[in-house]
Structure 1
Amino acid sequence: MNREVKVVLLGDSGVGKSSIVLRFCSDIFKVTHESTLGAAFMARTIEVNGINFKFQIWDTAGQEKYKSLTPLYYREAQVALIVYDITHKDSFDVLKSWVNELKAHGPKKIIQVLVGNKNDLIEDEKVSYDEANNYAQQIGASLKLTSCKENKGIQELFVSIAEQILYEEQNKLVEGKKTEKPQNPSVKVTVEDQNKKKKKEGGCC
């Protein structure tokens, strides 16, 4: 079975949205990263509980001059990752504007995940977990912490999205009943290579 999942990343410039996508899709981390202009697209497929989830990820620019373009990428999005930098309080304070914009222009039913990035710099933390978690609960989102530099929480972030999609689909099938969220899912990861073509049978190497 296959699922295509459109994901949009929102948040201030410099919080590490592009680093999250690059680490997840290509397992690459860059110390310095050029600012995204408009939006960038990458994809990766992972297998969770026997289902292939193809994540189509739109990394939107955080600069104010591009903000008017962001709603264009909300169309048919199933997941919004709202990213902040745990070492910069300002990046967390502006999240409300992103959330309000998403509410005004995005799909009515969209999975929201608050992502606290740069968790490797916990000693410089300016946004506590409790503060972020309280806000996440207010907007009906989950909270995940990530470190692109140390490659922590990135894989788990997208696996949790796949789990939530399966959980919500299962609940729709059982009216009036609550199903337990699957525990310890079997996860098999395969990286999608957009440029690699399948070899033809009988072809040379």
Structure 2
Amino acid sequence: MKGYKLVLLGDAQVGKTALINRLLHGRRLEKYEPTEGVDLTPVAIQTNHGSIRFIVWDTAGQQELGGLRDGYYIDAQCAIIMIDVTLPYSSYMNWHRDLVRVCSKIPVVICGNKNELRTERTERTGCTLQAAFGRMNLVYYDISLKFKNNLEKPFLYLARQLTGNQKLKLAMLPKAPSLIRLTEEENEC
């Protein structure tokens, strides 16, 4: 089975490692432990056209480790940039800029985590951000690791882009098919 290299980017503590843990094991991380360098994790999703495997390069978000990142991006075929919707959004542009400098034309998804903590002010900002990402031709999904909302959507979108099959549907998530229940409408992303 072919594996697509997916780089998972974003500031420290936005939920990058927690996303992979939630998908594969169905549980939340009890305490924060920063990623040092990069962790590689295979994640396979089951679709109506078979299994699609991502090799997720979960990168460190600490600024002091920034010099290593370009090497992690080489040969990446897709990316997820995670942001925390409760914090200012300035850094996502830096992540995107650095990524496209190394891999110019790969599908990229922005995931705004912690949407359950949004206030009225950040909800308005979120709408503005979604429009801004759209103008940049980037796909954006609000996700919640706490409530398991929309965790499958970035992977399904990337699988569709990589395979060129827009009719691709998710059959089940990795290792924990009961982790997220999809209705037919939700499977249409």
Q: Does structure 2 conserve the Cα–Cα contact (< 8 Å) formed by 1:44 and 1:191?
A: no
Corresponding residue for residue 78 of structure 1: 77
Residue 112 of structure 1 pairs with residue 97 of structure 2: no
Query: What is the letter of the counterpart of residue 64 of structure 1?
Result: Q
1:145-195 CA-to-partner distances (Å, cap 9, x unmatched) read: 1111111111232122212323xx35xxxxxxxxxx327x25134439xxx
User: CA offset at residue 40 of structure 1?
Assistant: 1.3
Q: Does structure 2 conserve the Cα–Cα contact (< 8 Å) formed by 1:3 and 1:52?
A: no
Give the Cα separation in 2 of the matches to 1:63 and 1:189: 29
The 1:84–1:186 alpha-carbon spacing in structure 2 relative to 1, beyond 3 Å, is closer
The 1:83–1:124 alpha-carbon spacing in structure 2 relative to 1, beyond 3 Å, is farther
1:105-131 CA-to-partner distances (Å, cap 9, x unmatched) read: 2x2221110110011212376363322
Corresponding residue for residue 152 of structure 1: 149
Give the Cα separation in 2 of the matches to 1:55 and 1:140: 22
Aligned length: 175
Q: Does structure 2 conserve the Cα–Cα contact (< 8 Å) formed by 1:118 and 1:148?
A: yes
The 1:51–1:28 alpha-carbon spacing in structure 2 relative to 1, beyond 3 Å, is same
Give the Cα separation in 2 of the matches to 1:31 and 1:119: 19
Q: Unaligned stretches of 5+ in structure 1?
A: 171-180, 193-205
Q: Unaligned stretches of 5+ in structure 2?
A: 177-189
Over the matched positions of the two proteins, sequence identity in percent amounts to 26
User: CA offset at residue 31 of structure 1?
Assistant: 4.1
Give the Cα separation in 1 of the matches to 2:147 and 2:121: 16
Query: What is the letter of the counterpart of residue 9 of structure 1?
Result: L
- Length-normalised TM-score, structure 1: 0.77
User: CA offset at residue 57 of structure 1?
Assistant: 0.5
Corresponding residue for residue 53 of structure 1: 52
